[in-house]
Amino acid sequence: MRAVVCHSLAQDRSGLVFESGWPEPFVPQPGEVTVEIASAALNFPDLLMLSGGYQFRPELPFIPGTEACGTVIAAGSGAEDWLGRRVIVGGRGGCFAERLTLPVSAVRLVPDGLDDDEAAAFTVGALTAWVGLMVRGRLQRGERVLVTGAGGGMGLAAVALARHEGAQVVAVASSEERLGAARAAGAHETMLIDRNTPEIDRRDIDVVFDPVGGLLALPAIRSLARNGRYLIIGFTGGRSPPFPLNRALIKQIEVLGVRAGEFARQDPDAGRRNIVEIDARAVALRPQIGCSLPLERSGEAFAAMAEGRLNGKAVISVRQG
């Protein structure tokens, strides 16, 4: 079986190796299915796992890839109805391989209107945007939302969802190309910033959706109006400076952590409801694919993400031919 495998942890991703003869996955047991992967999508946690920099650390060796699209080709008892179904796969790894066996609870039918690449790249961004903006952030129609990293896959998902739910969206990015992608996703306003000395000349934002952190965190927080909400999504820009708590007091703002996957693990019923909500909006939240590479060139996609060169989502084409 063809697969991309991490054999050792390294900051330069040197432990990531393309294998043409990796062992086949286990035969599905009761309640499990085997999926033949068509496309898989790259997310920032996949990159962090290669150096041991993510909260979840799989045992070595491991196959990265947390979301994919494919077809069920084998099923254990109790899961036979899934045979032949086109599904979205979600989990903590294993998607950068031709086949994957996993519990049937980790797959769901592809929403209407998405092709294989879009389906593979849909869930992580859309679900994080939903849990962040709508659940944790309590976004209301007409509020102003500022999205940092708005040209990346996560930021574009937030732009599209906020626009769909009736918010006024301000997109922040470090290149005109990325701002163009944000406008295509529905941003009403765009703001070009310098990554090294970011400034945001706004003080009227109700909700900040921030997957970047780093030097951009404090300017983003300062943009909030009274009773604003700052959503911590991630740190693609590195660690943030210390947060001045007096600003939260004076403006009565909230600082809210968002972990969509952990949210579902802690509250499975709510997690299922959140999936229903994003699947109902799949066409409106259709991800922009900025990079598509074959499985054997996955390392190039990881490098592009590490160097901040990705616009939209990176997808790996696993199916040959």
Q: What is the C-alpha separation between 35 and 73, in angstroms, rounded?
A: 6
User: Where are the domains positioned within the chain?
Assistant: 3-122+289-317, 124-262
Q: How far is CA 239 from CA 27, 208, 214, 234, 321, in A?
A: 42, 17, 5, 9, 42
Residues pairing with 230 in the sheet = 208, 255
The reply to whether CATH 3.40.630.30 applies to domain 3-122+289-317 is no
The DSSP 8-state label assigned to residue 60 in this structure reads S
| pLDDT tens per residue, range 39-92 | 999 999 999 999 998 888 999 999 999 999 999 999 999 999 999 999 999 988
Binned at pLDDT 50, 70 and 90, residue 173 comes out as very high
Local structure of 295: helix, strand or coil: helix
CA–CA separation, 101 and 11 (whole Å) = 29
pTM value surpassing 0.85: yes
Q: Does the pLDDT at position 240 exceed 90? A: no
**What rounded mean pLDDT belongs to the chain?**
95
Q: Are 145 and 206 in contact (CB under 8 A)?
A: yes
Say whether 276 sits in a helix, a strand or coil. Answer: helix
Biggest CA pair distance of the chain: 60
State the angle between helix axes of 153-164 and 176-185 in degrees (0 to 180), rounded to the nearest 10: 40
Which CATH code for domain 124-262?
3.40.50.720
Dist CA 107 CA 239 (whole Å): 34
Residue-level pLDDT at 55 = 85
Detail the DSSP E strand segments found in the chain.
3-6, 16-19, 32-42, 67-75, 86-90, 99-103, 107-109, 144-147, 168-173, 189-192, 205-210, 224-232, 254-257, 289-294, 313-317
Task: Name the token pair of 268.
Answer: 């499975």
pLDDT bucket at 321, cuts 50 / 70 / 90: low
Residue 302 has φ and ψ, to the nearest 5°, of: -60, -40
Q: What is the pLDDT of residue 241?
A: 85
> Which residues sit opposite 229 in a β-bridge?
207, 254
Q: Is 107 exposed, middle or buried (0-12, 13-18, 19+ CB in 10 A)?
A: buried
CATH topology agreement for domains 3-122+289-317 and 124-262: no
Helix then strand then coil, % of the chain, to nearest 5 = 30, 30, 40
